Every structure is written in C-alpha cells, then in structure tokens.
Structure 1
Amino acid sequence: MASIPEEFHDLFEKETFAHVATLTDEGLPHVTPVWIDYDADDDRLLVNTERHRQKARNAEHNPGVGVSMVDPDDPYRHLSVIGEIDEITTEGAREHIDELARRYMDVDEYPQPIESERVVLRIRPDRVL
C-alpha cells in the first residue's frame, strides 16, 4: 500500500476537482469529475456520491479505481492514484457532503436534493504517481 505524500495534502484543502475512473459490468472505463477529500488518519481518499450513480454501482462489482487530480493553482502539479474502494459507507455521508459543499460552494448545506442515498467511497491508495 502507498500513501499520499505530505506535500500533496494541501490539494484536499482547496477546490481541487478529481477524475475517478471505475469499470462498468462490461469492463469499460467510466470516468467522472468529483469533489475529493482525504482521511489522513486512515490514508483513504474519499468520494461522496449517491448510491444510484454509475460510479457507486460500478464499485459494487469491481472495487478497482483510478483517481487523478490537478492543483487548481498550478496545472503542472498533479497527483494520480491507483487503488481499491475498500468500503462504501452511509455513515457520516450526509454530513460529509455538507462539509464538501462548504469548501467547493461556500454554502452551509449541499443544495441538491438527494435522489437515493448518500454514500462515501473510501479508496485505499495502492500506487501513487
């Protein structure tokens, strides 16, 4: 298992967008832009989504994932992670999306209606590039 280098932790404190790649049932890549977070204590990337969305459905049958992000202040500074979603949890997911909304949208609560159920994809980094 790899770790996110300390010098890249700041990417998870600003409005950094990441692209997450999962695999469909047919083995085809599905890439989507997401808000990204990091649990430094557990060394897990965090992606908050809804259970009915394609990336969450893909993760149910194939936990392999690729994540890339570019520093919004310096497009030549980037981080790529290959890993595995080792947990899909609803625990704290609603509060987490509100935290992300504060960072990315400067609002107190996530403004979009929840269509199914909020979940957090916890990604274990196996390789960091």
Structure 2
Amino acid sequence: MNNIPENFQDLLKDETKAFAFLGTIMPDGSPQVTPVWFNTEGDYILINSAEGRRKDRNMRARRQVAVTLMNPANPYRYLEVRGEVVDITSEGGTAHIHALSHKYHGEDYKLPEGQVRVIYKIKPLKTSSMG
C-alpha cells in the first residue's frame, strides 16, 4: 500500500492476523470504536459488517473513519490510518466475510440466516505510527 510506511506494511499481511480498531462518527458527533477483521485490496483497507449495525449506519452517513492496526506480538507498536470510505457494497459481502473468517479462524463464518454482509472500502489519507 502506497500510503502506509514501509516499516508497518507487515501489519497488513494476512499471516500477522492483526485486528483493526475502526473509529466511526456517531450522529451526535461522538466517536464509536469497534475491533474488526480486515484485509486489503491494492491501496485500500477492506472492512466487513452486517447491514444495519451501528458502524454501518455511521459509515453510510459520515465517510470519515480512523483505523488503528495493533501488532499482536507488541501492542506498543501500532499504525493509525485516517481515511475515507470510498465504496460501500453488499456485492461479494458474504464471500468476503468467509475469507476474513478463514484468515482469523481457519473456517467459514457462521452467517446468521438472512444477514446481509457489507464491504467498506477505505482509502488511507494520513497515517501516524508508534513503535
């Protein structure tokens, strides 16, 4: 990813299994942070959620987000990415959540019946890091 410092690219790799802490903006302007699974596609970070959840509603209303990736082996080493959600789609959402589940757990996601999965494509705009 072009916008990510070279010495933090490892946090983006599937084998690292780093969690992302996704910060979104609530309707009243207060922050909401959720640990989430993620992967990347080119220069974008991809997050997946169920349609209708709070983070889904927040990102549809306000596209500015922050994502912090923490090194699982050293929590004092992390990367913060401030960015913008540039695409929201349910197309491929179920396949994507299964791929993320395989990354983190090695098996398909146990998808509740009728749940619609959504992919959020985040364009990194600014980064800061520690460690």
Measure the CA separation in 2 of the matches of 1:51 and 1:4.
Answer: 29
> 1:34 aligned to 36, 39, 43, which one?
36
Task: Quickly say closer, same or farther: Cα 1:6–1:91, change in 2 above 3 A.
Answer: farther
**Secondary structure in 2 matching 1:11:** helix
The residue aligned with 1:100 is 100
The residue aligned with 2:19 is 17
Q: How does 1:7-86 map to 2 (within 5 A)?
A: 7-12=7-12, 13=14, 14-39=16-41, 41=42, 43-86=43-86
Task: Quickly say closer, same or farther: Cα 1:5–1:112, change in 2 above 3 A.
Answer: same
1:47-101: CA deviations, max 9, x gaps?
0101111111001111010110111122222110011111111122111111111
Deviates more, 1:69-78 or 1:44-53: 69-78
Measure the CA separation in 2 of the matches of 1:55 and 1:80.
Answer: 18
The residue aligned with 2:110 is 111
4+ runs deviating over 4 angstroms: none
Q: What 5-or-longer segments of structure 2 have no aligned partner?
A: none
**Secondary structure in 1 matching 2:84:** strand
Q: How much is the aligned-residue C-alpha RMSD, in angstroms?
A: 1.5
For these two proteins, the number of residue pairs brought into alignment is: 125
Measure the CA separation in 2 of the matches of 1:10 and 1:119.
Answer: 26
Measure the CA separation in 1 of the matches of 2:33 and 2:57.
Answer: 13
**Secondary structure in 2 matching 1:99:** helix
With normalisation by structure 2, the TM-score equals 0.87
With normalisation by structure 1, the TM-score equals 0.88
1:6-29: CA deviations, max 9, x gaps?
443332313211111111111111
Task: Quickly say closer, same or farther: Cα 1:4–1:104, change in 2 above 3 A.
Answer: same
Counterpart AA for 1:10: D
Counterpart AA for 1:23: I
**Secondary structure in 1 matching 2:4:** coil
